[in-house]
Chain A
């Protein structure tokens, strides 16, 4: 490739003489964002920043502890993949995030906008409250009128600015002839302002300017909390998208060119290096290797691949470079067809109505009817439009869902904050309520309960000489089994035997010469053995009978704890995997799971979840692979680890940021408590209404009573939510 470039420039002698090369792109500094699920203290901030700043090319690194994230400004040569091992050595787990998706959530215009409105409403309500207190404590006549006019002068512009989100929402609902929570809110605010102005103009006794403002303030506070929770969820979904391969190496006339996956076309030749992920479906043209299909099928055993083998997007190439010819790209790939299964299953879940929606459906019409009835009743009884309007306004203000507006967001914010500190991100607003109802938990095996990295299990059965030869061969390869063998042998203190001419035969194994004999470590058929049921690498020394090194997938940290805690909480735990019966059975026995299903195809998984749902069970699915996505979407609630494939994370409600699985049981517990708090909050709000509404309807409510009822109910509800932290 380099020779082509040189000859290209040499063909134009003028270009060499030219002082500047306009074609060369100016190196631009890059922004890198890393997710750091493990950081929690000031020492962590200092350590991470020191480690990152010491890395050559890094100009500035800043940790954000609230978002558990680091933003790095660096020279163009620095890549996130270089920085992750740096942090790993410092003892911190890190994942790459997409800075492009981040910038959308970082500046956060909508959140700031809400915060400004909240500040203005707070400022205005404080001032008006100050004036109102003087009125309540006995200001009369001209003084009272003056105070009312000043209040009006503050309240009208303040509400015109800060209540805009409610006006906009109510209008969009009314335009399509529907009612939502915002319609009674807007009606209450407007009616309070109109009657207060009217009263002030007539030197009346009661004005509700303070009520209108505090109402706006508390509701905006609820709206802001709600927004914050949702923004965190949205950014989680967006940022994690970056974990997918966005680029592919395409071969055009023998030259390598890096292009975006979106630009691939059917028939393109694509080079996939060892460790790379297939960007498209296709057929292998040249090269031999092994493929890790675990994300698609759940199988732990790598599959041998040679020219002619069909590959699917998402599979990982393990040992040798492969050239594939694309047969399907983009939306057509099996990866995306799998995502369609998800879309179908998702539509079922969106029918879930949250507690807040249920409350709003009862509340909005009820409030309007009550207020209208009191208006009509008082108009007939007294014949005075002013009295009737005043009382109708008082009813609307007092019943207005101040506490209701805070009841749900305050709890969800407290609960998701608690879960975030434990390393979980809640993506869906109703996820907590659904998680609280769960009675059955289905786990996927590979990549979820197990880390997907194999561990040597029968190291004790071999002689020292065999292990030393195997170590010498294994350390020359990047194959996961070889890496695991090297690690295990080194941990036992073995040193490699003197094996010469070690070469790796992609797709088969490694071979070399040991004391004049041919030694081979690799697949069963390659060394002349018959394959067993276990994941294994075989070692053949000369003409001796080959010996087997067996491997088992290692458990993810916290997996045993999570399963035990869930069983203690009285939930049914089921293991469902696409892997072989032996592997699944062994793991189920190890963890004490009684029900397990092996060799499940993606459709089987989703079908099985559906069957459980038909039996009236509420299923929580925990999975990471593409073969789990349909099941994740079909389940009542779902969790996936951050290492999961993009499609799986999109389909799940909660993403586990760390490696540890143990927060899952805690999440269920927190969800139950959160739902309990939401119900309590509704009850508290109702009790206040039961006391205050009769007063309002009877015409006994004064602005003082309205202010007291509103503030105390809102504050109690928020405090109740804070008990969750």
Chain B
């Protein structure tokens, strides 16, 4: 059962990483246009480098 001492913090940490990543995506406006972003990857424009 000693393994729990590692596993529980690890699971909390991984969950926390997910939470922080989500908060980052919200803050950087990544949910403003989900439908358009899904279509934009199909376009050939800006394939070489991202639009500044």
CB within 8 A of A41: which of B1, B4, B27, B39?
B39
Contact yes or no, B35 A123, CB < 8 A: no
Q: A46-B45, A65-B33, A66-B32 are in contact. Are A123 and B39 (CB under 8 A)?
A: no
Report the minimum CB–CB distance from A498 to chain B (whole Å).
50
Kindly identify which residue among A65, A119, A127 contacts B23, using a CB–CB cutoff of 8 Å.
Answer: A119
Q: Mark B1-43, 1 if CB is under 8 A from A, else 0.
A: 1001000100110011011001100110001111110011011
* Residues in A197-221 with C-beta less than 8 Å from chain B: none
A120 nearest CB neighbor, chain B only: B19
Residues of A near B8 (CB, < 8 A) are: 131, 150
**Chain B contact residues: helix, strand, loop or mixed:** helix
Q: Name the contact of B1 in the complex, choosing from A46, A63, A67, A143 (C-beta under 8 A).
A: A143
* B45 CB contacts on chain A under 8 angstroms: 46
Q: Point out the residues of chain B lying under 8 angstroms from A347, CB to CB.
A: none
Q: A42 touching B42 by the CB < 8 A rule?
A: yes
Partner-A contacts on B (CB < 8 A): 1, 4, 8, 11-12, 15-16, 18-19, 22-23, 26-27, 31-36, 39-40, 42-43, 45
Task: Say yes or no: B16 contacts A42, CB within 8 Å.
Answer: no
Total count of chain A residues near the partner, CB < 8 A: 22
Asked whether A42 lies within 8 Å of B43 as measured between CB atoms, the reply is yes
Cβ of A126 under 8 Å from chain B: yes
Across-interface contacts of A115 in B (CB, < 8 A): 26, 31
Given contacts A126-B15, A143-B1, contact A64 B33 (CB under 8 A): yes
Whether A127 touches B15, Cβ cut-off 8 Å, given contacts A41-B39, A65-B36, is yes
Which A residues between 113 and 131 are near B, CB-CB below 8 angstroms? Answer: 115-116, 119-120, 123, 126-127, 130-131
Contact B22 A119 (CB under 8 A): yes
Closest to A107 in B: B29
User: Are the C-beta atoms of A42 and B39 separated by less than 8 Å?
Assistant: yes
For A65, list chain B residues within 8 Å (CB).
33, 35-36, 39
Cα–Cα, bound, A67→B40 (Å): 15
A-B contact pairs, 10 of them (CB 8 A): A42-B42, A42-B43, A65-B33, A65-B36, A66-B35, A115-B26, A116-B26, A119-B22, A120-B19, A123-B16
A65-79 interface with B by 8 A CB criterion? 65-67
Tell whether, in the assembled complex, residue A64 and residue B36 are in contact, meaning their CB atoms are under 8 Å apart: yes
Q: Determine whether A247 belongs to the interface, using a CB cutoff of 8 Å to chain B.
A: no
For the complex of A and B, the 8 pairs showing the least CB-CB separation, nearest first, are: A65-B36, A42-B39, A64-B33, A66-B35, A123-B19, A65-B35, A66-B33, A42-B42
Q: Does A611 contact B (CB under 8 A)?
A: no
Most chain B CB within a 10 A radius of its CB, from A119, A126, A150: A119
A46 with B43: in contact, given A123-B16, A127-B15 (CB under 8 Å)? Answer: yes
Contact of A64 among B27, B32, B43 (CB under 8 A): B32
Kindly identify, within residues 11 to 67 of chain A, every residue whose CB is under 8 Å from any CB belonging to chain B. Answer: 41-42, 45-46, 63-67
Point out the residues of chain B lying under 8 angstroms from A46, CB to CB. 43, 45
Q: In the complex the two chains form, is B22's CB within 8 Å of A130's CB? A: no
**In the complex, what's the smallest C-beta–C-beta distance from B26 to chain A, in angstroms?**
6
User: Does A112 touch B at the CB level, under 8 Å?
Assistant: yes
Docked pose: A66 CA to B32 CA in angstroms? 8
Closest Cβ of chain A to B47, distance in Å, is 12
Q: A64-B33, A119-B22 are in contact. Are A45 and B40 (CB under 8 A)?
A: yes
Residues of B within 8 A of A154 (CB): 12
Whole-angstrom CA separation of A112 from B31 in the bound complex: 10
Alpha-carbon separation in the docked complex, A245 to B4 (Å): 68
CB distance from A121 to the nearest CB of B (A): 11
Q: How far is it, in angstroms, between the C-alpha of A189 and the C-alpha of B36 when the chains are bound?
A: 39
Tell me the smallest distance from the CB of A3 to a CB of chain B, in Å: 46
CB distance from A419 to the nearest CB of B (A): 15
Complex interface: chain A residues within 8 A of B18 (CB): 123
Instruction: Map CB proximity to B onto A96-116 as digits: 1 under 8 Å, 0 otherwise.
Output: 000000000000000010011
**B29 CB, min distance to chain A CBs, angstroms:** 9
